[in-house]
């Protein structure tokens, strides 16, 4: 399962990208607004693109098909490798269909059910983004819905890739991998939590202490 970072924070993206285990970035209007409300969206997106180079999903804010297509055209003019993030609404499906006809990659977002996912796939989505945390917020087991979708994808051999999004903690990352999601897009803080283990820190400290002890003994022996 590939890991993307779900943020618009340049410092976090720079650090995550430097560690070598991230292959893409997803953003949305809320993530962009959280960083700096006065940010120039085009400039920020291009900065992110330069930093990561891999997958970058950029979300449209129009809610009608024509508006979404116009925005997609503009985003593609910034950098042609962009994946256009489209909300899972009827007009979004029509926009997805048209973009797929033009071979422009799309990421259908705000997907909460397998029937929505099916519709997005059939409209030609390249990626389908399942929101885990927000499903759990309303006491609907996200892991079960994601497992169900992944099973349907396997049965039918669908080509669109499933992204587990709205990840809130490392257990969501494990759930996504177990369900068979192709990608999990993970907030920076959760990515860093995934790397930490107290036994790693304690083990490293013990190795360093033992090495230093050995060096001190050697020094003593050599006078």
Q: In this structure, what are the phi and psi dihedrals at residue 199, rounded to the nearest 5 degrees?
A: -70, -30
185 lies in the binding site for ligand G3P (CB under 6 A):
yes
- Given 165, 173, 181, 191, the residue binding ligand G3P (CB under 6 A): 165
Query: Residue count at the site for ligand G3P (CB under 6 A)?
Result: 9
Nearest to ligand G3P by Cβ — which residue? 166
- d(CA 166, CA 13) in angstroms, rounded, equals 17
The rounded distance, in Å, linking the Cα atoms of 94 and 92 is: 5
By C-beta, is 87 or 210 nearer to ligand G3P? 87
Cα distance between residue 177 and residue 53, in whole Å: 24
User: Is 189 noted as a catalytic residue in this protein?
Assistant: no
Q: Is 6 in the site for ligand G3P (CB under 6 A)?
A: yes
Two tokens at 96?
Answer: 């997805």
130, two tokens: 């399942």
Separation of CA 92 from chain center = 20
Residue in 34, 66, 85, 220 annotated catalytic:
85
Shortest Å distance, C-beta 208 to ligand G3P: 37
Return the number of the residue (63 or 102) whose C-beta is nearest ligand G3P.
63
Residues designated as active site: 85
- The residues that touch ligand G3P, with contacts defined as CB under 6 A, are 6, 26, 28, 131, 133-134, 165-166, 185
């Amino acid at each position: 399962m590939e890991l993307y970072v779900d943020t618009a924070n340049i410092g976090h993206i720079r650090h995550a990208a430097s560690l070598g285990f991230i292959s893409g970035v997803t953003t949305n209007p809320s993530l962009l607004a959280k960083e700096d409300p006065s940010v120039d969206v085009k400039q920020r997106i291009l900065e992110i693109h330069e930093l990561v180079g891999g997958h970058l999903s950029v979300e449209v804010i129009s809610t009608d098909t024509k508006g979404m297509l116009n925005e997609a055209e503009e985003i593609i003019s910034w950098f042609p490798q962009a994946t256009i993030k489209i909300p899972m609404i009827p007009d979004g499906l029509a926009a997805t269909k048209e973009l797929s006809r033009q071979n422009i990659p799309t990421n259908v977002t705000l997907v909460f059910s397998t029937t929505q996912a099916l519709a997005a796939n059939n409209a030609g989505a390249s990626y389908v983004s399942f929101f885990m945390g927000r499903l759990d917020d309303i006491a609907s087991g996200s892991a079960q819905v994601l497992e169900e979708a992944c099973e349907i994808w396997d049965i039918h051999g669908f080509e669109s890739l499933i992204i587990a999004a709205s990840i809130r903690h490392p257990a969501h990352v494990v759930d996504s991998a177990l369900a068979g999601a192709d990608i999990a897009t993970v907030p920076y803080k959760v990515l860093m939590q995934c790397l930490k283990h107290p036994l790693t820190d304690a083990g490293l400290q013990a190795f360093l202490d033992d090495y230093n002890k050995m060096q001190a003994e050697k020094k003593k022996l050599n006078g």
